[in-house]
Amino acid sequence: MLDHAEILVQIESIKDFFHSIGLKKIKDIPEENWNLDSSYKFIPAKDRFTITYLGKERVLLSVDVFIVGGLHFIMRGTSDVSLYETIKTDYNFKSIHHQGCFFKDVYRDWQIKKLLYENT
């Protein structure tokens, strides 16, 4: 379990990562009067940002990054009918209710590159 300082550092890293993969922040937490339910909101900068989740392709609509509560990926897909779903993950992009995860390899590679370029 992460403590609050580690969570804030992780959230800053996630914000930088999202920017690097083409997600733009459209909602910030309030500077004053924020609470533990406050969140950042990101949307894809381009029209169609797809994610494969549990073997099915989904269109990413938005991501909410909560100060407490992890990340909520809001996606649209099809399974005989059009559906919308919210997948909750921890701050390491691992799904809370399923076996899936998002961006695991991409996030790891981004962190390694960031570390390498900071030390050169």
pLDDT recorded at residue 64: 96
Domain locations in the chain as residue ranges? 4-118
Which parts of the chain are beta strand (E)?
Answer: 23-27, 39-44, 50-53, 56-66, 71-78, 82-89
Confidence of residue 6 (pLDDT cuts 50, 70, 90): confident
pTM of the model: 0.85
Task: Judge whether residue 52 has pLDDT over 70.
Answer: yes
Q: Mean per-residue pLDDT for 4-33? A: 89
Residues of the chain above pLDDT 90, percent: 34
Residue pair 73/86 in contact (Cβ under 8 Å)? The answer is yes
